[in-house]
């Protein structure tokens, strides 16, 4: 490397973003992810012993996936190559494979291939990796923000250890701020003061993303003038300006997508209207399809509200139809109305349980012929010996009886005493329960 190259590289380092300058060089400098990188944990031991096997690292942005790969690069005696799935293709993979074969043949060293955003590789590109990972020519390190069990070739997954990185904890983010202010790679030579409210806002707004935190802090430092004492004072107002919009952690195919949907449904089911409308807002802000949300509302209206308030299903269906006709942004109001109504409605899963229990009986083989008096009259004449009148009951027309009800058998003989629908004793379903109870009394009296 020439003196010009050395000087150029030094300037690049000096002018790199704070998050890049503070990137740890060794595993002991790494902040966070103690569940996989605490001393004694498998991944920690493997890196220390230079015994890394193929691994997939997945988790939200800014949690340390690329940093871990670089730490492995710094600490391994194996050869190390890196590709980005956005800009690389099968040709690039083949070039690395040829390199790896040569190194294995002449030096006996394996090659670690780090692929950032591995989920961006299509099936054929991932398939191209498989034989070389399988034979041990390549040790694969894949990084992805998506759940690899959905986005990465199952054969690659089966030959790799999967480690999930979590958003950094509050204490980890505090440590990052301390390092940024006191490390020579950061702002050690600058007098900076940051009050507790400003620090809390930066940490909370960054939502466990180290890169977002450090970028916001750097922006605050570089755009704030020194006070009379020569100190850069980072106030709450400055912190809020540097993180003007909360980062919404929501990928349409990732874990957080399913987590948010789950929280949305469970909040409606749990009658927490504020939480339900919050998760609705989060999904809409992230660009979720309003019709997808409307379908979830429809399901909740029937499964979790049911006959405790039959109007919930009608409102949900009306909301779905209206969303199709109107679209965003006005559809947000319609969705909010339906969500808040369902969240506040009385809850009953009696209908949901009834159909599930009935299906279980059918699947267990509990079945028999429909009672004769319930059969179609036309088919009865064709299939029944009309001279055989033994034990034959006649169908009783309910409207001919008081209250529109008459006792007669409806379930097959094999399942005559089954009880599937058990309405709750509140909401509109209480009226249904009272009606059923009255019919039961009539049954018992005759």
Instruction: State how far the Cα of 253 lies from the Cα of 258, in Å rounded to an integer.
Output: 8
For the whole prediction, is pTM greater than 0.75?
no
Q: What is the CATH number of the domain that holds 384?
A: 1.10.3710.10
277 and 340 belong to one structural domain: yes
Do 287 and 336 belong together in one domain?
Answer: yes
Digits of tens for pLDDT over the chain (446 positions)? 454 444 445 554 557 889 899 999 899 999 999 999 998 899 999 999 999 999 999 988 889 999 999 999 888 899 999 999 888 888 999 999 999 999 999 998 999 999 999 988 888 888 889 999 998 899 999 999 888 887 888 889 999 999 999 999 999 999 999 999 999 999 999 999 999 999 999 998 888 899 999 999 999 999 999 998 999 999 999 998 887 554 455 555 556 677 888 899 999 999 999 999 999 998 888 778 888 899 999 999 999 999 999 999 999 999 999 988 888 888 899 999 999 999 999 999 989 988 988 888 887 777 677 888 888 766 555 454 545 554 457 888 888 888 888 888 888 877 778 888 888 888 888 888 888 888 877 777 75
- The rounded distance, in Å, linking the Cα atoms of 97 and 196 is 51
Same domain, 159 and 208: no
Residue 352 lies in a domain: no
In a domain, 320, yes or no: yes
The residue with tokens 């006649």 is 394
Q: Are residues 160 and 187 in the same domain?
A: no
Is residue 247 a part of any domain in this protein? Answer: no
Compute the C-alpha angle 154/156/157, nearest 5°: 60
Distance separating alpha carbons of residues 341 and 309, to the nearest angstrom = 10
**190 and 126 assigned to the same domain:** no
Domain's final residue, options 131, 164, 197: 164
Q: Which residue, 218, 242, 266, sits at the end of a domain?
A: 242
- State whether 333 and 381 are in the same domain: no
- Are residues 80 and 159 both part of a single domain? yes
Domain range enclosing 96: 33-164
Please answer whether residues 217 and 178 qualify as being in contact, where contact means their C-beta atoms are separated by less than 8 angstroms: no
Indicate if 175 and 237 belong to the same structural domain.
yes
Question: What is the C-alpha to C-alpha distance for residues 42 and 403, in angstroms, rounded to an integer?
Answer: 72
What is the distance in angstroms between the CA of the first residue and the CA of the last residue of the chain? Answer: 102
Residue 112, strand partner residues: 80, 139
Q: What are the structure tokens assigned to 25, written together?
A: 């060089």
Instruction: Specify the number of domains making up the chain.
Output: 4
Q: Which domain CATH number covers 278? A: 1.20.272.10
| CA 395, chain centre distance (Å) | 54
234 shares its domain with 280: no
Of 87, 40, 35, 41, the residue nearest 63 (C-alpha): 35
Distances (CA, A) of 95 to 80, 113, 172: 13, 11, 39
Other residues' Cβ atoms within 10 Å of the Cβ of residue 217: 28
């Amino acid at each position: 490397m020439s003196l010009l190259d050395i000087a150029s590289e030094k300037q690049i380092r000096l002018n790199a973003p704070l998050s890049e300058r503070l990137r740890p060089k060794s595993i002991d400098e790494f902040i966070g992810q103690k569940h996989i990188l605490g001393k004694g944990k498998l991944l920690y031991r493997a890196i220390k012993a230079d015994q890394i096997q193929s691994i997939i690292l997945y988790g939200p942005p800014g949690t340390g996936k690329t940093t871990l790969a670089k730490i492995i690069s710094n600490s391994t005696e194996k050869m190390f190559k890196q590709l980005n799935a956005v800009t690389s293709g099968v040709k690039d993979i083949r070039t690395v494979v040829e390199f790896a074969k040569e190194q294995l043949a002449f030096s006996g060293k394996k090659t670690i291939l780090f692929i950032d955003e591995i989920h961006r590789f299509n099936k054929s590109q991932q398939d191209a990796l498989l034989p070389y990972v399988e034979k041990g020519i390549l040790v694969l390190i894949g990084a992805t923000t998506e759940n690899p069990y959905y986005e990465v070739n199952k054969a690659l997954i089966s030959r790799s250890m999967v480690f999930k990185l979590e958003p950094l904890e509050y204490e980890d983010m505090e440590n990052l701020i301390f390092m940024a202010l006191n490390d020579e790679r950061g702002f050690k030579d600058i007098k900076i003061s940051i009050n507790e409210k400003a620090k809390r806002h930066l940490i909370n707004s960054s939502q466990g993303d180290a890169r977002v935190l450090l970028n916001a802090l750097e922006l605050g430092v570089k755009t704030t003038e020194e006070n009379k004492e020569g100190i850069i004072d980072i106030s709450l107002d400055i912190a809020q300006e540097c993180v003007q919009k909360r980062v919404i952690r929501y990928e349409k195919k990732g874990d957080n997508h399913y987590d948010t949907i789950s929280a949305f449904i469970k909040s409606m089911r749990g009658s927490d209207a504020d939480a339900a409308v919050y998760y609705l807002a989060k999904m809409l802000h992230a660009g979720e399809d309003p019709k997808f949300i409307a379908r979830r509302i429809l399901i909740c209206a029937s499964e979790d509200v049911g006959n405790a308030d039959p109007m919930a299903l009608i409102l949900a269906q009306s909301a779905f139809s209206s969303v199709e006709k109107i679209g965003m942004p006005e559809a947000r109001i319609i969705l909010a109305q339906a969500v808040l109504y369902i969240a506040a409605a009385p809850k009953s899963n009696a209908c949901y349980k009834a159909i599930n229990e009935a299906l279980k009986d059918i699947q267990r083989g509990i079945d028999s012929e429909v009672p004769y008096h319930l059969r179609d009259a036309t088919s009865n004449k064709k299939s029944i010996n009309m001279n055989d009148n033994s034990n034959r009951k006649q169908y009783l027309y309910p409207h001919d009886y008081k209250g529109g009800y008459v006792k007669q058998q409806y379930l097959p003989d094999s399942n005559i005493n089954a009880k599937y629908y058990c309405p709750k004793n509140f909401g509109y379903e209480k009226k249904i329960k009272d009606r059923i109870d009255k019919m039961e009394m009539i049954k018992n009296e005759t």
